[in-house]
Structure 1
Amino acid sequence: MKADSARIKIDYSLYLVTDRSLSQGRSTVDIVGAAIRGGVTCVQLREKHCSTREFLDEARSLQSLLQQHRIPLIINDRLDVALAIGADGVHLGQNDMSIADARRLVGEKMIIGISAENVDDAIIAEQEGADYIGISPVFTTDTKMDIAAPLGLEGIRLIRRAVKIPLVGIGGINVGNIRDIVRAGADGAAVVSAIVAAACPETAAAELKQLLRQEPDALPSVASPPLTFINRKSMKTVANKKYHRVLTIAGSDSGGGAGIQADLKTIGANGCYGMSVITALTAQNTVGVTGIHGVPTPFVQQQMEAVFGDIGTDAVKIGMLFSPELIKTVAEQLKKFAVTNIVLDPVMIAQSGDKLLQDEAIDALKSHLIPMATLLTPNVPEASVLLGREITSMDMVYEAAKELCRLGCANVLIKGGHLEGEDSDDCLYLGEREEMIFLFAKRIATNNNHGTGCTLSSAIASNLAKGDSIITAVRKAKQYITGAIAAGAGYTIGKGHGPVHHFYQFEQTKQ
């Protein structure tokens, strides 16, 4: 998705980010006023520890000042504040609202920026329609604590080669390195303490501005060939590399569209090393399931012990568990090996409508596995079975998610694909924060939707294995499954519900 040409054009070269904790008792408006005289070209208001009313008052005061100088005001994180005052833009973090959701709320004219901690974040941001990317952090910084390891100048170079939209470096930037940021390929430098904490913000800004005006010693290369998808995450040779390991515990689908087969495709497509524990064999194709053969429980245990005892895992995705005995055994092994990042997809019914779980296994699922889950991912029919009542609308989903969370799991993602309508929205309930996040998507008209639940949950597990937060992991997985469904919609395979296109990113790269 490309940025809308109707949005204002911003000079990102000297981008000031406010921080009240560094202001030494001076007002934000006074500091920004001095910085404007020194030459800042863009201002982001960042307030983490004030009330909404205080934030709005300060934003309006700052907006009045900036409008006199035709300098854009960007609001950090708070979309509600940006909308309330009619700011020029909003800057989002990886754990904030998605770009697509934000765009629906703000319309087409407001600038949307987003922080990126690696090349993959940047690529996704550009695909979702971000107007600019804040590369964070470039260097070590004390102004933000909840950030990844510094990317350095090489990180800027890699991201510059991967995306075309404007880049702003942030984190530890000062007079000693600001020119290096631009040489590496950034369109601007976001400065916090070097201006806000300076004895004279005007002089500090002017010095930084002068350095940016100087002819660079070497311009960033624009002729470098684009990076391929598989190499974008890292270009460095590292001794003793380690995989991001994901174990799927699920049934086999002989048709290849769901179950273990879909899980392993998804895990590989999302840059992780996949392992499997097979719990059941199914005779299955795009039309239906004609037979189920449960793997003996002792052999399931043996598979788990073999993987955990040698390779280990960074995340586990659990799918089809046919019987109460099997569920108890899996739970015991997860406890024995202290496994974390457990994504539980309570597979009960196949896309064809065939039943995949014994009735008595539902109680065992509630008692033994759901309380261990980092994330429970039922679709609407599965959530209805677990709660013993029918869920027929999105209005009922919120209470259903909260009630499922009370079964003991940390978080719940209810997938809305089975509801009627033109949208296919999912609802993520964060148990600890008691917060609901909606993930919006338009329904894609296709019969090729076999294995979507397996694919989504495996993608989430893969993202957790790579260290993403639960919110980021789910958002990235939603992006992936939406793309996989769209890419697979035009294919014909079998006579019923076909699979999604698990490797669509690689096909796009070749094109």
Structure 2
Amino acid sequence: MANELPQVATIAGVDSDGSAGAQADLHSFFMRGTYGTLILTAAVAGNSYGIHDSQVMPLSFIDSQFKAVGEDLKIRAAKTGMLADAAVIKNVAANLQKYDFGPLVLDPVISTKHGNMLLETEAFETLKTVLIPMADVITPNFYEAEHLTGMKLRDKDAIIKAAEAIHDMGAKNVMLKGRHDSATQTEVSDYVLLDSGKRFWLTGPYYDTERKNGTGDTLSAVITAELGKGTDLEDAIRLAKHFVDTAIAHEIPVGHKFGPINHWANPLVQPKTDPQA
């Protein structure tokens, strides 16, 4: 039967060195036993030293990709990554209303893990007002949460208030990723606020390594893959946290400086088909 295999989508840019963006998403989809598809929004010329050039896809081409995937495949969950500018964000939002891609996991690519802004003001405001209210799950990093809320997250109480503020923006479920850029820390604590009212902290070890490219992409992609298979959201979030920690802990020698995480450190999940699809 057509489309029995769980299929998921990433709506994101590609990194030429394969360490982050859609490549990290597709690695994660594969390792979690789902069939990954891609709606390409941008292409980045980058390597372990940094980003050197980028190209945003034409809106008409993004439309064509949504049409091609939406009219043939059964996407059971989707996630966003790099959306480049306000026009792309509006286009993606319109297409997600047109095609049923299942639950939406929003990885708000607003700033780097070190706090550097990646979106211009208009795009940032568009993401807040247009896309966040559509998100079933949002996974901002520490600095992205600060930018979204205008708050300084100096302690756990502030992090809790920031998660509540993001939830009030319309995102149903929030996973606010803890800060992990200090060599003096030993743990990283993420805060989860579920639409059901359940709240909890997820704490894992801090790894002092420069090989962390693609951590945010991978976390949101694993959640997406699990939702596509019908996994309970809390279980999907807990599994994603463990998956990323394991991938960071087992370094791979790729690139000279800021390298990728190791998806292969996690066991491969064999895909299963659903006879009811």
RMSD (Å), alpha carbons: 1.8
- Indicate if the aligned counterparts of 1:379 and 1:418 stay in contact, CA closer than 8 A: no
- Indicate if the aligned counterparts of 1:320 and 1:357 stay in contact, CA closer than 8 A: no
Q: Give, in angstroms, the shift of residue 404 of structure 1.
A: 0.3
Pairing of 1:26-425 with structure 2 (within 5 A): 242-350=4-112, 355-418=117-180, 420=182, 421-425=185-189
Task: Select 1:500's aligned residue among 253, 261, 264.
Answer: 261
**What secondary structure is seen at the aligned counterpart in 2 of 1:402?**
helix
Pairing of 1:462-501 with structure 2 (within 5 A): 462-488=225-251, 491-501=252-262
Higher relative contact order (CA 8 A, sep 6+): 2
TM-score between both structures, scaled by the size of structure 2:
0.91
**What secondary structure is seen at the aligned counterpart in 1 of 2:75?**
coil
Q: Which residue of 1 aligns with 2:210?
A: 447
Q: Deviations over 1:379-427 (max 9, x none)?
A: 0101111112332333311110000000011100001143642111111
Counterpart-to-counterpart distance in 2, 1:286 and 1:404:
32
Counterpart-to-counterpart distance in 2, 1:482 and 1:242:
31
AA aligned to 2:101 is: V
Q: Give, in angstroms, the shift of residue 487 of structure 1.
A: 1.6
Counterpart-to-counterpart distance in 2, 1:335 and 1:256:
30
Q: Give, in angstroms, the shift of residue 466 of structure 1.
A: 0.7
Counterpart-to-counterpart distance in 2, 1:424 and 1:352:
15
2:190 paired with 1:426? yes
TM-score between both structures, scaled by the size of structure 1:
0.50
- Indicate if the aligned counterparts of 2:138 and 2:174 stay in contact, CA closer than 8 A: yes
List alignment gaps of at least 5 residues for structure 2.
269-277
**What secondary structure is seen at the aligned counterpart in 1 of 2:165?**
helix
**What secondary structure is seen at the aligned counterpart in 2 of 1:314?**
strand
Q: Deviations over 1:82-141 (max 9, x none)?
A: xxxxxxxxxxxxxxxxxxxxxxxxxxxxxxxxxxxxxxxxxxxxxxxxxxxxxxxxxxxx
Q: Deviations over 1:338-388 (max 9, x none)?
A: 332100000123457664322211111111111111100000101111112
Question: Structure 1 residues 354, 401: closer, same or farther in 2, change over 3 A?
Answer: closer
**What secondary structure is seen at the aligned counterpart in 2 of 1:278?**
strand
- Indicate if the aligned counterparts of 1:289 and 1:354 stay in contact, CA closer than 8 A: no
AA aligned to 1:449 is: K
Task: Select 2:199's aligned residue among 433, 436, 443.
Answer: 436
Question: Structure 1 residues 358, 388: closer, same or farther in 2, change over 3 A?
Answer: same
Q: Which residue of 2 aligns with 1:26?
A: none
Question: Structure 1 residues 405, 494: closer, same or farther in 2, change over 3 A?
Answer: same
Higher-Rg structure is: 1
List alignment gaps of at least 5 residues for structure 1.
1-238
Q: Which residue of 1 aligns with 2:221?
A: 458
Counterpart-to-counterpart distance in 1, 2:224 and 2:181:
25
Identity %: 36
